[in-house]
Amino acid sequence: MVTSSIISLKEQNPYSANTHYEFDARTKDRFKDLLEACRSGDLEKVQSLVRNFSVPINASDEWQCSPLYCACLCGRYEVVSFLLENGARCERETFEGERCLYGALTPRIRELLLTYKFTKAVDESQSYRNVLTHFYENPLDHFSDIALKVRSSSFSMMTANSINYERLHSENIVEFYAHRFILCARCPYFTEILENTHYDNNNHQFSSDDRHHRVSFEILKAVDPTCFKAILRYIYTSEVVQIPEGLFIKMVDLCKLFELGNLLEKYTIQSAVSKLPTRQPDKELQQDIGAFFRDAILGNKRILSSDSNNSNGLSDNSKHSSKHQKPYHDMFLRVENTLYPCHRVMLSARSEYFNILINGPFAEGLSKTEEYGLPAIILSDCTCEILELILEFIYTDKCENIPPHLAYKLLIKADMLLFDRLKSLAAIVLTNQKEPTEDIYKLMKKAIDLEIDRLEQYCCRWFAEHLNDVLHDERFLNLIEESAHSIQDRQATDSIPFVDDLRYWLAKKHSVMQEDIDKASGKVEEEDATDWETEYNRRLAQIDAVLEKLNLDA
C-alpha cells in the first residue's frame, strides 16, 4: 500500500523527485563517491565533496537513488543531518520525500525528517548564484555599465514601479540596467552586437552616456518588458520564470532573437514550465562565465614591455585572438609585469579584501594605468600562475586543477584575500599527495596558524608514519612543547593535542582497535597482544620517553 502511494506520487509529478543531472566524467565519478560515502557514513568525505567540489546533493543515479536516500536507508544520522542543512530536498507529499521517510533505517532519522523545516533547503551553489542575483536585482549598486532600452506598446505603471532598476520613459520605453560582460558571456545575441557597436539596423541602436560611463542600447523592435525581464533573470541566474500563458508566444520569439536555445526548449512546452524548479540544476551559468573568463580575461591579459620602441607598452605576446574580443573591464589587477582586465563588480562582491580596496577609503589612492586610464590594484608577493587560479575561483566559484606545487602558495594567498573555500580547496590538494610538497614542519605550522584541521591531521599522520626519523628532531620537540603550551591553564596531567593525534594515527597505522586500548595507560595489554599491537606499544613508549625528557606528562 505504501509502495503504491509513493509510485503514484512519482507519476503525478515527475519533477518532485530529485533531478537527474547530466554529468561530465569527473563529476560523475565524484557523485558516485558521494553516494558511497553516504552509504558508509563517511561524514568528512561527504562534507569535502559537497563543500569543496560542489558535487550536487539533489541529483540521483540511474536507479533514482539520491545521497539523502542512501544515507537514510543505511542509517547514517550525521550524514542525513548534514545533507538537510546543506540543501537536500525532502518535501512531504513528494516522491523523494516519502521515499526517504519510509526508507529511513531508524526512528531517529525519521523524526529528523519529519521535524526538519523543509523550506530551509538551499541550492548547493547558492552563494555564487546569490552574488549574480544581487547584480541582476540591484545593478545600479554594482557598477552597471549598460542601459538596455525596450520599446513596448503595453506596459503598466504598476509593473514599472515593482521593478526597482527600471525607468519608464515617454513613448513606452523601459530602461533596464545590466553588465556587458555578463550579457556577452551568456547570450550569443549580445556577444555579437556588443562587439560590433558600430553596427546599426532596424532592430537596435547604440548611444553613449558619458556622465555615468554607461553604454545605452535600444532594441527598436517591440518587446514585452515582462518577457525581457524573465530573459535577463535567466541570463544572470539560470532561473526559469513562470510567465502569464498569453505571453508564451512572445517569450518563444524573444528566446529565438537572443539565441537562447536551452531557454527556448523550456518555454516551448508550456505545461512543463510550471513543474520545473525555479532554479535548474544547470551548469551552464558557471560554464558560460568560465568560458568568458578564459577567452576574454586570460585571453586579453597585457604583458607590459620595457621596450621603449613599443609605444603602447605592450608585448606582442599579449595580443590574442579569442571568441570574446572585448572583456568590458573597468579595472586591472597587476602582478609583476602583467595586467589582467577585471571587473570591479566581481572582485568587490566575491572578496571582502578587494571590496575594501575598491569601495573603501583606499579607492581614490589606486594607481591608474597610463595606457588605459583605468584603476589597477598591484598584488605583491604573487605570481601570474597563482593569480590566474584566484581569478578562476572569483569568476566561476571553482578551481579544479590546482597544480600540487602551487597549492601551498595558493593557500597562503587565499587566506590573505579571505577566500575560505579556496583555502580549503588548496588544502585538499596538499593532503592528497603521498609525500608533502613543502617542508612538513612549515606545513604543520601553517595548518595550526590558519586552523586548517585537515592539513594538520595530514601532517600528524605523516609524523606518525615517520616517527623514527623525527623523534629527536628539535623542530619535532618544539611542536610538542607548543601544543602543550597552547592549552590555557593546562594541568600537569592534561593531554596534549599533538600527542593525542600522534597516538590516534599510530593506532590506525598498526590496526589497533580503540576498544582494545587501556584507558589508563593508553596501551594494549601485553597478554595476547599481536605483533602489530606490540609494535604500537613500543612506539608509545618512545613518545613517553620524549615527554619525560621535556618534563611533560600527557
Answer yes or no: is 23 within a domain: yes
Strand partners, 378: 334
Q: Which of 407, 487, 418 is nearest to 455 (CA)?
A: 407
Q: Are residues 275 and 292 in the same domain?
A: no
Answer yes or no: is 425 within a domain: no
- Tell me what pLDDT residue 123 has: 44
Residue linked to cell 519608464:
168
H-type alpha helices, 187-247 = 188-194, 225-237
Q: Are residues 278 and 312 in the same domain?
A: no
Q: Are residues 167 and 181 in the same domain?
A: yes
Residue linked to cell 599522520:
461
- Tell me what pLDDT residue 120 has: 41
Instruction: Kindly report the CATH number assigned to the domain that includes residue 404.
Output: 3.30.710.10
Answer yes or no: is 421 within a domain: no
Q: Are residues 251 and 312 in the same domain?
A: no
Higher pLDDT, 278 or 252: 252
Q: Are residues 264 and 295 in the same domain?
A: no
In angstroms, the CA 394 to CA 174 distance is 32
Q: Which of 393, 459, 461 is nearest to 424 (CA)?
A: 393
User: Which of 282, 315, 344 corresponds to the end of one domain?
Assistant: 282
| pLDDT higher than 60, residue 199 | no
pLDDT in tens, 466-512: 999 999 899 999 999 999 888 765 555 567 899 999 998 998 888 88
Q: Are residues 156 and 20 in the same domain?
A: no
Q: Are residues 384 and 365 in the same domain?
A: yes
In angstroms, the CA 216 to CA 135 distance is 18
Give the distance, in angstroms, between the CA of residue 132 and the centroid of all CA atoms in the same chain.
13
Answer yes or no: is 473 within a domain: yes
Higher pLDDT, 522 or 126: 522
pLDDT in tens, 262-313: 889 888 876 555 555 555 545 788 899 999 999 999 999 999 876 544 434 4
Q: Are residues 388 and 305 in the same domain?
A: yes
Share of the chain above pLDDT 90, in %: 39
Q: Are residues 326 and 400 in the same domain?
A: yes
Encode 543-552: b = buried (16+ Cβ within 10 Å), e = exposed: bbebbeeeeb
241, 234 in Cβ contact below 8 A? yes
177, 147 in Cβ contact below 8 A? yes
Amino acid in position 16 = S
Residue 308 DSSP code = T
For residue 166 the three cell numbers come to 527600471
What average pLDDT does this structure show over 175-181? 94
Higher pLDDT, 103 or 335: 335
- Tell me what pLDDT residue 328 has: 93
> Which domain covers residue 112, as residue numbers?
2-122
Answer yes or no: is 227 within a domain: yes
Answer yes or no: is 57 within a domain: yes
In angstroms, the CA 511 to CA 553 distance is 25
Encode 434-450: b = buried (16+ Cβ within 10 Å), e = exposed: eebebebbebbbbbbeb
- Tell me what pLDDT residue 335 has: 94
Instruction: Kindly report the CATH number assigned to the domain that includes residue 78.
Output: 1.25.40.20
Q: Which of 491, 503, 517, 490 is nearest to 546 (CA)?
A: 503
- Tell me what pLDDT residue 205 has: 54
Amino acid in position 45 = K
User: Which of 122, 155, 181 corresponds to the end of one domain?
Assistant: 122
Residue linked to cell 568590458:
328
Average pLDDT score over the chain: 80
In angstroms, the CA 189 to CA 127 distance is 28
| pLDDT-wise least confident of 162-171, 240-249, 260-269, 449-458 | 162-171
| pLDDT higher than 90, residue 121 | no
Give the distance, in angstroms, between the CA of residue 298 and the centroid of all CA atoms in the same chain.
20
What is the helix (H) or strand (E) element at residue 309, kind and residue range?
Answer: none
Interior CA angle at 399 toward 394 and 400, to 5°? 160
Strand pairing category for 375-378 and 367-368: antiparallel
- Tell me what pLDDT residue 168 has: 56
In sequence order, what DSSP letters do the residues of 144-163 get, joined into one string? --EEEEEE-SS--HHHHHT-
Interior CA angle at 87 toward 82 and 90, to 5°? 95
pLDDT in tens, 303-352: 987 654 443 444 544 444 444 468 999 999 999 899 999 999 999 999 99
For 186-299, list the strands marked E by DSSP.
204-209, 214-219
- Tell me what pLDDT residue 22 has: 60
What is the helix (H) or strand (E) element at residue 94, kind and residue range?
Answer: none
Q: Are residues 410 and 308 in the same domain?
A: yes
| pLDDT higher than 80, residue 74 | yes
260, 234 in Cβ contact below 8 A? yes
- Tell me what pLDDT residue 34 has: 94
- Tell me what pLDDT residue 255 has: 92
Report pTM.
0.75
| pLDDT higher than 50, residue 235 | yes
- Tell me what pLDDT residue 122 has: 39
Q: Are residues 59 and 85 in the same domain?
A: yes
- Tell me what pLDDT residue 407 has: 97
The confidence band for 435, taking pLDDT boundaries of 50, 70 and 90, is very high
- Tell me what pLDDT residue 129 has: 84
Q: Which of 238, 314, 313, 252 is nearest to 281 (CA)?
A: 238
What average pLDDT does this structure show over 357-376? 76
Higher pLDDT, 508 or 180: 180
- Tell me what pLDDT residue 220 has: 72
**Looking only at Cα atoms, what is the longest distance across the chain?**
95
For residue 522 the three cell numbers come to 593508553
Give the CA-trace dihedral at 146, 239, 130, 281, to 10 degrees. -140
115, 177 in Cβ contact below 8 A? no
In angstroms, the CA 403 to CA 429 distance is 8
What average pLDDT does this structure show over 418-429? 90
Higher pLDDT, 256 or 155: 256
Amino acid in position 34 = L
- Tell me what pLDDT residue 50 has: 86
Q: Are residues 6 and 111 in the same domain?
A: yes
Q: Which of 273, 266, 221, 223 is nearest to 244 (CA)?
A: 273
Residue linked to cell 530529485:
18
Q: Around 311, how many Cα atoms within 13 Å sit in the side-chain half-sphere?
A: 0
Answer yes or no: is 347 within a domain: yes
Calculate the alpha carbon distances from 56 to 6, 19, 139, 245, 394 in Å: 24, 10, 29, 32, 20
Calculate the alpha carbon distances from 487 to 69, 443, 460, 491, 521 in Å: 42, 21, 18, 9, 22
Higher pLDDT, 205 or 540: 540
- Tell me what pLDDT residue 153 has: 56
- Tell me what pLDDT residue 552 has: 84
Calculate the alpha carbon distances from 422 to 53, 177, 389, 418, 554 in Å: 10, 31, 9, 9, 36
- Tell me what pLDDT residue 51 has: 77
Share of the chain above pLDDT 70, in %: 77
What average pLDDT does this structure show over 96-108? 82
| pLDDT-wise least confident of 21-30, 230-239, 497-506 | 21-30
Burial category of 81 from C-beta neighbours within 10 Å (exposed 0-12, middle 13-18, buried 19 and up): middle
- Tell me what pLDDT residue 119 has: 37
Number of domains in the chain: 4
Return the sign of the alpha-carbon dihedral for residues 480, 483, 485, 489: negative
What average pLDDT does this structure show over 357-386? 82
Answer yes or no: is 240 within a domain: yes
- Tell me what pLDDT residue 494 has: 63
| pLDDT higher than 70, residue 69 | yes
H-type alpha helices, 105-187 = 107-115, 126-137, 157-161, 180-186
| pLDDT-wise least confident of 16-20, 127-131, 398-402, 501-505 | 16-20
User: Which of 122, 148, 179 corresponds to the end of one domain?
Assistant: 122
In sequence order, what DSSP letters do the residues of 21-61 get, joined into one string? ----HHHHHHHHHHHHHHHHT-HHHHHHHHHHH---SSB--
